[in-house]
Amino acid sequence: MDIQILFAVLGGIAILLFLILKLKIQAFLALLIVCILVGIFAGLPASEILTTMQEGMGSTLGFVATVVGLGALFGGILEQSGGANSLAKYLLQKTGEKRSPWAMMLTGFLVAIPVFFDVAFIILIPVTYALSRKTGKSLILYAMPLLAGLTITHAFIPPTPGPIAVADILGADLGWVILFGILTGIPVAIISGPVFAKFISRRINITPPSFTEPNTDIDNDLPSPGLILSIICVPIILIVLNTVLTSPLFPEGFISGPLLYLINLLGHPFTALIIANLLAWYFIGIKRGAGKEFLNKTAMKSFEAAGIIILLTGAGGAFKQILIRTGAGEMIAESLQGTFFNPLFFGFTIALLVRLLQGSATVAMITAAGITAPVLTSSALSPSEIALIVIAIAAGASGFSHVNDSGFWLVGKYLGLTEKQTFRSWTLMTGIVAILGLLVSSIMYYFL
């Protein structure tokens, strides 16, 4: 293994933490500085360092900037119309204050099956803001269960891309993967979600940030929770239709060309969120007496708040890309290939190491699957055992999200957390997901 590259990666992460936590340098600037330093330490050519940074920033923001911008606009109108508050009241009435974190976990668990993690998070986060304001309790109490549900389903249960890719590489049966993903995911979601949230919210008291200023120009009566739920469900349903109808569940040619074109267009997160915004602006804005000045002011304030989230997420993507370019994760994974590990622990270990070094859960999952696949060729494993190895790899790739993961910055800034608080909440929660995911899948591997 090239010690220089490993030193560059570990040293870069250490310097980044020092710059942000000790010297209090703004995280966006610190990330860009460390990108350059890691590239220099790893021996990359100067032009390649800067090109890689640009590539990482661009590839991350191409999707994230659009989704965050549309999501901020959507969140702003939900806040200012009182829609999020109306839905929070409804949830509290139906579930009770004590069970509302469980409702958020279940919502995240179900929604993330067809919808990408960051899209679902941005659509649903205004509801956690409203719940926190309504009860006076820490935002963490409601946001962590939502994030746990989203994280676990996104990693463990097809048709999300990660587990599908791993299952394909390992030759696992998707039916078994779905079954074990659910069986593993439910207890892990409960402990890393509502149980952990109750513990950590007592230690981190966060008042929800606001995308906009309080509104006095709109009717005092709140929009109905049914209307708000309908508008929130529109983009989710569109994305679900696109995911399901274009999946291997349906044979090629099952849907006619023009209809498939329409489904692909309307079911993309960009289009789905644009439609949601238009519906929200009309039904809970214009139709309820909101004037042009109010709507424009809401939009401008929403975009101001979204700016720092977009920049930090992009810088996190640049840092991740620099770390991927060094190849440190693959080198460590390959060095472990000659050791004797149970295939399940082997896959988990590789996925976790790549995740820690490079930040990308998808890269970690695919790398671990590619290196674990040859190990399985010489072993007579049942379809259920191979499916459980898929779950273990997914658990490892989900673990301990930190500064080299763009999701770390997205979650931290949306929740109004400092870097230390993001480590104590989000990073620890993803660590619990990894460890419990390994534990539950191991128990089933040995005893089923």
- Number of neighbours of residue 254 by Cβ within 10 angstroms: 10
Grade residue 109 by pLDDT with cuts at 50, 70 and 90: confident
139: nearest Cα among 150, 130, 151: 130
pLDDT of residue 210: 63
Domain borders along the chain are 1-447
* pLDDT reading at 204 higher than 80: yes
CB 441 within 8 A of CB 391: yes
pLDDT of residue 102: 93
Grade residue 216 by pLDDT with cuts at 50, 70 and 90: very low
pLDDT of residue 219: 45
289: left (phi over 0), alpha (psi -120 to 50) or beta: left
Q: What is the C-alpha to C-alpha distance for residues 174 and 132, in angstroms, rounded to an integer?
A: 38
Across residues 293-301, what is the average pLDDT?
A: 75
Q: Which two tokens stand for residue 195?
A: 């149980």
pLDDT of residue 125: 87
The radius of gyration of the chain's CA atoms, rounded to the nearest angstrom, is 22
Q: What percent of the chain has pLDDT over 90?
A: 29
Q: What is the C-alpha to C-alpha distance for residues 231 and 236, in angstroms, rounded to an integer?
A: 9
pLDDT of residue 194: 96
How far from chain centre, in Å, is Cα 61?
15
Q: What is the C-alpha to C-alpha distance for residues 197 and 432, in angstroms, rounded to an integer?
A: 12
pLDDT of residue 214: 46
Across residues 95-111, what is the average pLDDT?
A: 87
* pTM of the entire predicted model: 0.75
Beta strands in 86-190 (DSSP E): none
Q: Kindly report, residue by residue over 306-351, the tens digit of the pLDDT.
A: 777 788 778 878 887 887 888 776 676 666 655 556 889 989 998 9
* pLDDT reading at 212 higher than 80: no
Q: Kindly report, residue by residue over 409-435, the tens digit of the pLDDT.
A: 989 988 999 999 999 999 999 999 999
161: nearest Cα among 365, 345, 400: 365
pLDDT of residue 115: 66
Neighbour-count burial of 424, counting CB atoms closer than 10 A to its CB (0-12 exposed, 13-18 middle, 19+ buried) = middle
Q: What is the C-alpha to C-alpha distance for residues 398 and 351, in angstroms, rounded to an integer?
A: 8
Q: Given the structure tokens 């002011």, which residue do they identify?
A: 297
Q: Kindly report, residue by residue over 34-43, the tens digit of the pLDDT.
A: 899 989 998 8
Q: What is the C-alpha to C-alpha distance for residues 141 and 196, in angstroms, rounded to an integer?
A: 9
Across residues 238-257, what is the average pLDDT?
A: 73
Mean pLDDT of the chain: 83
Q: Kindly report, residue by residue over 174-199, the tens digit of the pLDDT.
A: 788 888 998 999 999 999 999 999 99
